[in-house]
């Protein structure tokens, strides 16, 4: 692949790296084949499908044609830091490594238990027993909050998924159950044992003060974390440079991705994240 030399001496491959997106193997809208075709049509040159707590997409991907686009195996694990729910990407992992396979199984059990708790909480609010319909909706895939939101829209209990999260399922709302996830150090260990790099996903999404975010990054690195997502979807340039500075100051590699879930969200479409600021050391630098 052609490269150019950035101002700080690091090689940045020419092309679009989207290292954070979701298929219908978790809470994404598209099947893996359609997702890959959309990524190719958007000019993505390197793609990582990072479904929530599962690598099942990689059990079908070998039979698909992804042309010249490079596929980097990945996953997005749910965890917590100081009682705050956070997400950690595992990039460049071996999906068949025992730590990932066992971690995936554990998270599936956690998600099943979490789904029961969410259903109980929502039931107490007068929304009825949503668990059965939600399990049918999810099929053989783990139940997540978007499945509850979709069912609530179908039931006419909310206008749309945004309202479902704002009123019932978003951070701090009754359906937000976090305590079941393994701690961040455990998640990072699973990723490292699989040969991957642990990357803190969408760091601004946790709504931390600058001081608290720095503290999170310090703990993350001390536990073995290797990177931070500098770009998440389409964002303002000054935000990217703010996070690039945090990446440089903390000694964490920089990653980028769209966090794509569905076609109706242009701010998170595949490849819309663009390129990292030049001062960044990209997470793929040694791949």
- The reply to whether the predicted model has a pTM over 0.85 is yes
* Burial grade of 189 (CB within 10 A; 0-12, 13-18, 19 or more): middle
Q: Are residues 95 and 132 in the same domain?
A: no
In this structure, what CATH number is given to the domain that contains residue 66? Answer: 3.20.20.140
For the chain, the domain total comes to 2
Element (H, E) at 245: helix 237-250
Q: Are residues 8 and 83 in the same domain?
A: yes
Q: Are residues 14 and 90 in the same domain?
A: yes
Q: Is residue 67 part of a domain?
A: yes
Q: Are residues 156 and 205 in the same domain?
A: no
> What pLDDT, on the 0 to 100 scale, is given for residue 1?
35
Q: Are residues 20 and 158 in the same domain?
A: no
**Each residue's pLDDT tens digit in the chain (287 positions)?**
333 333 333 444 568 999 999 999 998 999 999 999 999 999 999 999 999 999 999 999 988 988 899 999 999 999 999 989 899 999 999 999 999 999 999 999 999 999 999 999 999 999 999 999 999 998 888 888 989 999 999 999 999 999 999 999 998 899 998 768 999 999 999 999 999 999 999 999 999 999 999 999 999 999 999 999 999 999 999 999 999 999 999 999 999 999 999 998 999 999 999 899 999 999 999 89
> What pLDDT, on the 0 to 100 scale, is given for residue 78?
93
> What pLDDT, on the 0 to 100 scale, is given for residue 142?
81
Q: Are residues 220 and 135 in the same domain?
A: no
Q: Are residues 97 and 117 in the same domain?
A: no
Q: Are residues 208 and 99 in the same domain?
A: yes
> What pLDDT, on the 0 to 100 scale, is given for residue 14?
62
Which letter, b or e, does each residue of 147-184 get, where b requires 16 or more Cβ atoms within 10 Å of its Cβ? bbbbbbbeeebbeebeebbeebbeeeebbebeeebbeb
Q: Are residues 125 and 94 in the same domain?
A: no
Q: Are residues 209 and 250 in the same domain?
A: yes
Q: Is residue 94 part of a domain?
A: yes
Contact 128, 156 (CB under 8 A): no
Q: Is residue 58 part of a domain?
A: yes
Domain that holds residue 70: 3-104+181-268
> What pLDDT, on the 0 to 100 scale, is given for residue 2?
35
Q: Are residues 193 and 212 in the same domain?
A: yes
Q: Are residues 161 and 259 in the same domain?
A: no
Q: Is residue 285 part of a domain?
A: no
């Amino acid at each position: 692949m052609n490269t150019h030399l950035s101002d700080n001496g690091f090689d940045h491959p020419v092309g679009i790296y989207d290292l954070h997106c979701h298929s219908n193997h978790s809470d994404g809208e598209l099947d893996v084949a359609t997702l890959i075709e959309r990524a190719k049509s958007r000019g993505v040159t390197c793609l990582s499908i990072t479904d929530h707590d599962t690598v099942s997409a990689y059990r079908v991907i070998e039979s698909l044609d992804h042309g010249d686009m490079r596929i980097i195996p990945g996953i997005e694990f749910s965890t917590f830091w100081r009682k705050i729910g956070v997400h950690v990407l595992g990039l460049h992992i071996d999906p068949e490594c025992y730590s990932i396979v066992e971690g995936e199984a554990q998270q599936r059990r956690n998600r099943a238990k979490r789904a029961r708790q969410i259903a109980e909480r929502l039931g107490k609010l007068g929304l009825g027993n949503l668990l059965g319909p939600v399990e049918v909706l999810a099929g053989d895939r783990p139940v997540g909050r978007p499945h509850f939101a979709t069912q609530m829209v179908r039931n006419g209990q909310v206008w749309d998924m945004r309202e479902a999260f704002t009123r019932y399922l978003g951070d701090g709302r009754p359906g937000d159950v976090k305590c079941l996830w393994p701690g961040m150090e455990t998640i990072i260990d699973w990723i490292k044992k699989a040969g991957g790099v642990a990357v803190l996903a969408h760091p601004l999404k946790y709504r931390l003060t600058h001081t608290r975010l720095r503290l999170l990054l310090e703990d993350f690195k001390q536990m073995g974390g290797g990177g931070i997502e500098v770009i998440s979807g389409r964002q303002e340039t000054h935000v990217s440079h703010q996070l690039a500075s945090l990446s440089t100051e903390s000694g964490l590699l920089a990653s980028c991705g769209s966090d794509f879930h569905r076609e109706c969200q242009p701010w998170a479409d595949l490849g819309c994240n663009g390129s990292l600021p030049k001062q960044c050391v990209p997470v793929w630098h040694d791949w």
